[in-house]
Amino acid sequence: MKNNGELNSVIKLSYRMNTVILMCVLIMMGYFKWFRVKFMFWLSVPYIVMYLSHYVLIRKLHLTAFVWSVYSLMTTYMISATVCMGVSSGFILYCMSLIPIAFYLEYISYRIDFKKVSPLILTSMLLAGSCVSALYSLLCGPVYEIERESSEIMFMVNAVAVLFFLVAYTIYITKSIITSEKSLNRLAITDPLTKCYNRNYMMNHLNSLVEENEAKDCWISLVDIDDFKQINDTYGHNFGDTVLKTIAAKLMSDSDVTVARWGGEEFVLCAKSSKVNSSYMEMVRNAVANHPFEYEGKKVRVTISSGVSDYGSFSNTDAWIKDADMKMYVSKGSGKNQTIY
Protein backbone atom coordinates (compact mmCIF):
# COMPACT_ATOMS: atom_id res chain seq x y z
CA MET A 1 0.00 0.00 0.00
CA LYS A 2 1.24 3.46 -0.77
CA ASN A 3 -0.23 5.05 2.35
CA ASN A 4 -1.96 3.33 5.26
CA GLY A 5 -3.48 6.64 6.33
CA GLU A 6 -5.05 7.07 2.90
CA LEU A 7 -6.33 3.49 2.95
CA ASN A 8 -7.93 3.91 6.38
CA SER A 9 -9.60 7.10 5.20
CA VAL A 10 -11.02 5.32 2.14
CA ILE A 11 -12.24 2.43 4.29
CA LYS A 12 -14.09 4.81 6.62
CA LEU A 13 -15.58 6.64 3.65
CA SER A 14 -16.71 3.31 2.13
CA TYR A 15 -18.44 2.30 5.35
CA ARG A 16 -20.22 5.65 5.55
CA MET A 17 -21.22 5.61 1.90
CA ASN A 18 -22.60 2.09 2.13
CA THR A 19 -24.56 3.02 5.27
CA VAL A 20 -26.06 6.09 3.61
CA ILE A 21 -27.13 4.09 0.54
CA LEU A 22 -28.58 1.35 2.75
CA MET A 23 -30.63 3.91 4.66
CA CYS A 24 -31.83 5.42 1.38
CA VAL A 25 -33.04 2.02 0.16
CA LEU A 26 -34.90 1.49 3.45
CA ILE A 27 -36.55 4.91 3.10
CA MET A 28 -37.46 4.13 -0.52
CA MET A 29 -39.08 0.89 0.62
CA GLY A 30 -41.37 3.09 2.67
CA TYR A 31 -42.10 5.20 -0.43
CA PHE A 32 -42.93 2.17 -2.50
CA LYS A 33 -45.17 0.67 0.17
CA TRP A 34 -46.99 4.02 0.54
CA PHE A 35 -47.54 4.32 -3.23
CA ARG A 36 -48.30 0.59 -3.51
CA VAL A 37 -45.49 -0.15 -5.94
CA LYS A 38 -45.20 -3.79 -4.88
CA PHE A 39 -42.51 -4.80 -7.37
CA MET A 40 -40.05 -2.15 -6.11
CA PHE A 41 -40.96 -2.85 -2.49
CA TRP A 42 -40.06 -6.54 -2.77
CA LEU A 43 -37.10 -5.82 -5.07
CA SER A 44 -35.63 -3.72 -2.26
CA VAL A 45 -35.28 -6.78 0.00
CA PRO A 46 -32.43 -8.53 -1.91
CA TYR A 47 -30.79 -5.15 -2.46
CA ILE A 48 -30.73 -4.56 1.29
CA VAL A 49 -29.12 -7.97 1.74
CA MET A 50 -26.50 -7.07 -0.86
CA TYR A 51 -25.70 -3.75 0.83
CA LEU A 52 -25.33 -5.54 4.15
CA SER A 53 -22.86 -7.93 2.50
CA HIS A 54 -20.81 -4.91 1.41
CA TYR A 55 -19.61 -4.46 4.98
CA VAL A 56 -17.84 -7.81 4.64
CA LEU A 57 -16.26 -6.75 1.32
CA ILE A 58 -14.98 -3.53 2.88
CA ARG A 59 -13.65 -5.29 5.97
CA LYS A 60 -11.75 -7.76 3.76
CA LEU A 61 -10.44 -4.87 1.61
CA HIS A 62 -12.22 -6.01 -1.53
CA LEU A 63 -12.77 -2.36 -2.38
CA THR A 64 -12.80 -2.77 -6.16
CA ALA A 65 -15.53 -5.41 -5.88
CA PHE A 66 -17.39 -3.09 -3.52
CA VAL A 67 -17.33 -0.23 -6.05
CA TRP A 68 -18.54 -2.41 -8.93
CA SER A 69 -21.29 -3.87 -6.78
CA VAL A 70 -22.51 -0.45 -5.62
CA TYR A 71 -22.63 0.95 -9.15
CA SER A 72 -24.33 -2.16 -10.52
CA LEU A 73 -26.93 -2.24 -7.77
CA MET A 74 -27.70 1.48 -7.91
CA THR A 75 -27.94 1.45 -11.71
CA THR A 76 -30.34 -1.51 -11.86
CA TYR A 77 -32.35 -0.24 -8.87
CA MET A 78 -32.86 3.23 -10.35
CA ILE A 79 -33.61 1.77 -13.81
CA SER A 80 -36.29 -0.44 -12.24
CA ALA A 81 -37.74 2.51 -10.30
CA THR A 82 -37.82 4.67 -13.45
CA VAL A 83 -39.56 1.94 -15.47
CA CYS A 84 -42.09 1.34 -12.70
CA MET A 85 -42.86 4.96 -11.80
CA GLY A 86 -41.76 7.01 -14.80
CA VAL A 87 -39.13 9.65 -15.51
CA SER A 88 -41.15 12.27 -13.64
CA SER A 89 -40.53 10.44 -10.35
CA GLY A 90 -36.91 11.66 -10.43
CA PHE A 91 -35.16 8.37 -9.65
CA ILE A 92 -33.01 8.77 -12.74
CA LEU A 93 -31.29 11.72 -11.01
CA TYR A 94 -29.43 9.31 -8.72
CA CYS A 95 -27.67 7.75 -11.70
CA MET A 96 -26.56 11.16 -12.93
CA SER A 97 -25.20 12.07 -9.50
CA LEU A 98 -22.88 9.04 -9.51
CA ILE A 99 -21.02 10.07 -12.68
CA PRO A 100 -18.56 12.58 -11.08
CA ILE A 101 -17.74 10.06 -8.34
CA ALA A 102 -16.68 7.52 -10.98
CA PHE A 103 -13.82 9.80 -12.06
CA TYR A 104 -12.78 10.57 -8.49
CA LEU A 105 -12.57 6.83 -7.81
CA GLU A 106 -9.79 6.52 -10.39
CA TYR A 107 -7.74 9.02 -8.37
CA ILE A 108 -8.53 7.20 -5.11
CA SER A 109 -7.45 3.88 -6.67
CA TYR A 110 -4.09 5.41 -7.53
CA ARG A 111 -3.61 6.92 -4.08
CA ILE A 112 -4.17 3.65 -2.22
CA ASP A 113 -2.50 1.48 -4.89
CA PHE A 114 -5.58 -0.63 -5.64
CA LYS A 115 -6.73 -2.07 -8.93
CA LYS A 116 -7.85 0.77 -11.18
CA VAL A 117 -11.57 1.35 -11.52
CA SER A 118 -12.40 2.53 -15.04
CA PRO A 119 -14.54 5.68 -14.83
CA LEU A 120 -15.51 5.43 -18.51
CA ILE A 121 -17.01 1.96 -18.05
CA LEU A 122 -18.90 3.04 -14.92
CA THR A 123 -20.13 6.22 -16.62
CA SER A 124 -21.17 4.32 -19.76
CA MET A 125 -23.09 1.85 -17.62
CA LEU A 126 -24.92 4.68 -15.83
CA LEU A 127 -25.71 6.61 -19.00
CA ALA A 128 -26.88 3.53 -20.89
CA GLY A 129 -29.12 2.45 -18.04
CA SER A 130 -30.56 5.93 -17.58
CA CYS A 131 -31.25 6.44 -21.30
CA VAL A 132 -32.84 3.01 -21.82
CA SER A 133 -35.11 3.30 -18.76
CA ALA A 134 -36.08 6.88 -19.60
CA LEU A 135 -36.82 6.02 -23.23
CA TYR A 136 -38.91 3.00 -22.24
CA SER A 137 -40.85 5.04 -19.71
CA LEU A 138 -41.54 7.84 -22.21
CA LEU A 139 -42.62 5.46 -24.99
CA CYS A 140 -44.57 2.92 -22.99
CA GLY A 141 -45.46 4.89 -19.90
CA PRO A 142 -44.79 3.84 -16.28
CA VAL A 143 -45.89 0.41 -15.07
CA TYR A 144 -47.63 1.95 -12.06
CA GLU A 145 -49.92 4.92 -12.44
CA ILE A 146 -49.36 7.55 -9.77
CA GLU A 147 -51.24 10.79 -9.26
CA ARG A 148 -49.48 13.80 -10.73
CA GLU A 149 -49.28 15.58 -7.40
CA SER A 150 -47.73 12.54 -5.72
CA SER A 151 -45.27 12.16 -8.59
CA GLU A 152 -44.23 15.81 -8.26
CA ILE A 153 -43.72 15.40 -4.53
CA MET A 154 -41.57 12.32 -5.14
CA PHE A 155 -39.54 14.22 -7.76
CA MET A 156 -38.91 17.06 -5.29
CA VAL A 157 -37.85 14.63 -2.55
CA ASN A 158 -35.47 12.82 -4.90
CA ALA A 159 -34.09 16.09 -6.29
CA VAL A 160 -33.39 17.43 -2.79
CA ALA A 161 -31.74 14.13 -1.79
CA VAL A 162 -29.49 14.18 -4.87
CA LEU A 163 -28.66 17.86 -4.32
CA PHE A 164 -27.73 17.16 -0.70
CA PHE A 165 -25.55 14.26 -1.83
CA LEU A 166 -23.76 16.37 -4.46
CA VAL A 167 -23.14 19.21 -1.98
CA ALA A 168 -21.73 16.76 0.58
CA TYR A 169 -19.58 15.14 -2.13
CA THR A 170 -18.27 18.54 -3.26
CA ILE A 171 -17.38 19.52 0.31
CA TYR A 172 -15.53 16.24 0.78
CA ILE A 173 -13.61 16.61 -2.49
CA THR A 174 -12.68 20.22 -1.68
CA LYS A 175 -11.39 19.31 1.78
CA SER A 176 -9.52 16.34 0.33
CA ILE A 177 -7.80 18.54 -2.27
CA ILE A 178 -6.88 21.19 0.32
CA THR A 179 -5.46 18.52 2.65
CA SER A 180 -3.43 17.00 -0.20
CA GLU A 181 -2.12 20.41 -1.24
CA LYS A 182 -1.05 21.23 2.32
CA SER A 183 0.68 17.86 2.60
CA LEU A 184 2.51 18.34 -0.71
CA ASN A 185 3.54 21.89 0.21
CA ARG A 186 4.84 20.69 3.56
CA LEU A 187 6.85 17.91 1.89
CA ALA A 188 8.27 20.38 -0.64
CA ILE A 189 9.78 22.63 2.04
CA THR A 190 10.57 20.20 4.86
CA ASP A 191 13.49 17.88 5.49
CA PRO A 192 11.89 14.47 6.18
CA LEU A 193 14.45 13.33 8.76
CA THR A 194 14.87 16.37 11.00
CA LYS A 195 11.46 18.01 10.32
CA CYS A 196 13.08 21.41 9.90
CA TYR A 197 12.95 23.35 6.63
CA ASN A 198 15.06 22.32 3.65
CA ARG A 199 17.70 24.29 1.74
CA ASN A 200 15.31 25.46 -0.97
CA TYR A 201 12.94 27.00 1.58
CA MET A 202 15.76 28.76 3.42
CA MET A 203 17.17 30.25 0.21
CA ASN A 204 13.76 31.61 -0.71
CA HIS A 205 13.32 32.94 2.82
CA LEU A 206 16.69 34.73 2.83
CA ASN A 207 16.18 36.13 -0.68
CA SER A 208 12.79 37.44 0.38
CA LEU A 209 14.31 39.20 3.42
CA VAL A 210 16.97 40.81 1.22
CA GLU A 211 14.54 41.87 -1.51
CA GLU A 212 12.08 43.35 0.97
CA ASN A 213 14.88 45.20 2.80
CA GLU A 214 14.22 43.31 6.04
CA ALA A 215 17.59 41.57 6.25
CA LYS A 216 19.34 44.47 8.00
CA ASP A 217 17.72 43.46 11.28
CA CYS A 218 18.60 39.78 10.82
CA TRP A 219 21.43 37.39 11.54
CA ILE A 220 22.16 33.98 10.13
CA SER A 221 24.29 31.13 11.39
CA LEU A 222 25.81 28.24 9.49
CA VAL A 223 26.18 25.21 11.78
CA ASP A 224 28.22 22.06 11.22
CA ILE A 225 28.29 18.94 13.42
CA ASP A 226 31.89 18.26 14.34
CA ASP A 227 33.40 15.00 13.08
CA PHE A 228 30.04 13.75 11.87
CA LYS A 229 31.58 11.38 9.29
CA GLN A 230 33.58 9.74 12.05
CA ILE A 231 30.40 9.41 14.14
CA ASN A 232 28.63 7.67 11.26
CA ASP A 233 31.59 5.40 10.55
CA THR A 234 32.03 4.46 14.22
CA TYR A 235 28.47 4.12 15.47
CA GLY A 236 26.46 3.63 12.30
CA HIS A 237 24.01 5.71 10.32
CA ASN A 238 21.08 5.04 12.64
CA PHE A 239 22.94 6.70 15.49
CA GLY A 240 23.98 9.46 13.08
CA ASP A 241 20.31 10.06 12.26
CA THR A 242 19.54 10.28 15.99
CA VAL A 243 22.27 12.90 16.37
CA LEU A 244 20.87 14.92 13.46
CA LYS A 245 17.32 14.82 14.83
CA THR A 246 18.40 15.72 18.36
CA ILE A 247 20.52 18.67 17.27
CA ALA A 248 17.79 19.88 14.90
CA ALA A 249 15.31 19.86 17.80
CA LYS A 250 17.68 21.97 19.91
CA LEU A 251 18.24 24.41 17.04
CA MET A 252 14.45 24.75 16.67
CA SER A 253 13.84 25.31 20.41
CA ASP A 254 12.84 28.95 19.76
CA SER A 255 9.89 29.43 17.39
CA ASP A 256 11.24 32.83 16.31
CA VAL A 257 14.28 31.16 14.76
CA THR A 258 13.94 29.71 11.25
CA VAL A 259 15.99 26.53 10.87
CA ALA A 260 16.85 24.59 7.73
CA ARG A 261 18.95 21.55 7.04
CA TRP A 262 21.46 22.90 4.56
CA GLY A 263 22.88 19.55 3.50
CA GLY A 264 24.43 16.53 5.21
CA GLU A 265 25.37 17.61 8.73
CA GLU A 266 25.01 21.35 8.10
CA PHE A 267 22.19 23.64 9.19
CA VAL A 268 21.39 27.29 8.58
CA LEU A 269 19.51 29.43 11.08
CA CYS A 270 17.98 32.87 10.60
CA ALA A 271 16.28 35.22 13.04
CA LYS A 272 15.54 38.88 13.62
CA SER A 273 17.90 40.47 16.17
CA SER A 274 14.96 42.35 17.68
CA LYS A 275 13.36 39.00 18.62
CA VAL A 276 16.28 36.62 19.20
CA ASN A 277 19.79 37.75 19.96
CA SER A 278 22.59 35.99 18.08
CA SER A 279 23.90 34.78 21.47
CA TYR A 280 21.22 32.12 21.00
CA MET A 281 23.81 30.16 19.01
CA GLU A 282 26.15 29.97 21.99
CA MET A 283 23.30 28.68 24.14
CA VAL A 284 22.53 25.97 21.58
CA ARG A 285 26.20 25.04 21.31
CA ASN A 286 26.37 24.51 25.08
CA ALA A 287 23.13 22.50 25.02
CA VAL A 288 24.50 20.17 22.34
CA ALA A 289 27.88 19.77 24.05
CA ASN A 290 26.18 18.83 27.33
CA HIS A 291 23.60 16.49 25.81
CA PRO A 292 24.02 12.89 27.04
CA PHE A 293 24.30 11.05 23.72
CA GLU A 294 24.69 7.32 24.27
CA TYR A 295 25.45 4.34 22.05
CA GLU A 296 25.04 0.85 23.54
CA GLY A 297 25.52 2.23 27.05
CA LYS A 298 28.59 4.24 26.09
CA LYS A 299 28.55 8.05 26.27
CA VAL A 300 29.34 9.80 23.00
CA ARG A 301 30.42 13.42 22.95
CA VAL A 302 28.93 15.44 20.10
CA THR A 303 29.65 19.12 19.44
CA ILE A 304 28.87 21.74 16.83
CA SER A 305 30.78 24.59 15.24
CA SER A 306 29.02 27.66 13.88
CA GLY A 307 29.60 31.01 12.26
CA VAL A 308 27.22 33.91 12.83
CA SER A 309 26.82 36.80 10.40
CA ASP A 310 24.72 39.97 10.51
CA TYR A 311 23.50 41.16 7.13
CA GLY A 312 25.28 44.49 7.49
CA SER A 313 26.30 45.92 4.14
CA PHE A 314 26.23 42.75 2.06
CA SER A 315 24.79 43.26 -1.39
CA ASN A 316 23.12 39.86 -1.77
CA THR A 317 22.18 36.60 -0.09
CA ASP A 318 25.14 34.62 -1.43
CA ALA A 319 27.65 37.03 0.10
CA TRP A 320 25.80 36.88 3.42
CA ILE A 321 25.86 33.07 3.48
CA LYS A 322 29.52 33.02 2.38
CA ASP A 323 30.49 35.20 5.35
CA ALA A 324 28.72 32.87 7.82
CA ASP A 325 30.30 29.87 6.08
CA MET A 326 33.82 31.35 6.38
CA LYS A 327 33.30 32.04 10.10
CA MET A 328 32.07 28.50 10.59
CA TYR A 329 35.25 27.13 9.00
CA VAL A 330 37.32 29.43 11.22
CA SER A 331 35.48 27.88 14.18
CA LYS A 332 36.31 24.36 13.00
CA GLY A 333 39.92 25.30 12.29
CA SER A 334 40.33 26.78 15.73
CA GLY A 335 39.55 23.65 17.70
CA LYS A 336 35.83 23.11 16.92
CA ASN A 337 32.96 23.37 19.42
CA GLN A 338 32.96 27.16 19.02
CA THR A 339 30.74 29.98 17.83
CA ILE A 340 32.49 32.66 15.80
CA TYR A 341 30.75 36.06 15.42
Dihedral-angle region of residue 227 (phi above 0 means left; psi in -120 to 50 means alpha; beta otherwise): left
Q: How far apart are the first and last CA of the chain?
A: 50
Q: At what angle do helices 317-333 and 199-211 cross, to 10 degrees?
A: 120
- Distance between CA atoms of residues 136 and 83, nearest Å: 7
**Of 6, 106, 147, 265, catalytic:** 265
Element (H, E) at 164: helix 148-189
d(CA 140, CA 124): 24
Rounded Cα–Cα distance for residues 81 and 191 (Å): 56
293-295 and 218-225 beta bridge pairing: unpaired
Q: Give me the half-sphere count of Cα atoms (radius 13 Å) on the Cβ side of residue 255.
A: 0
Give the CA angle between residues 178, 121, 95 to the nearest 5°. 70
User: Which is nearest to 183 in space by CA: 331, 2, 1?
Assistant: 2
Q: Is 265 a catalytic residue?
A: yes
Which is nearest to 269 in space by CA: 316, 328, 211?
A: 328
In sequence order, the β-bridge partners of residue 269 are 221, 259
Strands 304-310 and 339-340: parallel
**Structural contact between residues 269 and 279, judged by C-beta atoms closer than 8 angstroms:** no
The residues that are catalytic are 265
